[in-house]
Amino acid sequence: MELLIWAVLCALVGLGCLGGAAWAVIGGGDVGVELIFLLHVWLLFAALFLGMAVWIARQGPLKNLGNKPGRGSEEKPKETAATSS
């Protein structure tokens, strides 16, 4: 349950960072070094937190979200390596 909370929290922070990047683009009067640096920092943090949210969700309770109920529980039989020397 706590992994789900961490994934949601990281997703919210990542979306907030995307909002900050949009604010930097829309609200920026002059395009200068400061605006470009601010935009890169917002986008870097957005990628970091959204990536962490996706990674936590795929490793935790949401890893079987896209699978059909019958497919995720089956294990494929391992092939035997029958090599002749």
Give pLDDT tens digits for 40-65. Answer: 999 999 999 999 988 888 886 666 66
Distance CA 22, CA 39 (A): 8
Tokens of 79: 């092939």
Q: pLDDT averaged over the chain?
A: 79
Which segment of 9-13, 34-38, 58-62 scores lowest on mean pLDDT?
A: 58-62
Average pLDDT over residues 20-31: 79
Q: Residue 62 — φ and ψ, nearest 5°?
A: -100, 15
Residue 20 confidence (pLDDT) above 80: yes
Per the CB < 8 A criterion, the answer to whether 24 and 35 are in contact is yes
Domain residue spans of the chain: 2-61
Q: Distance between CA 69 and CA 59 in Å, rounded? A: 18
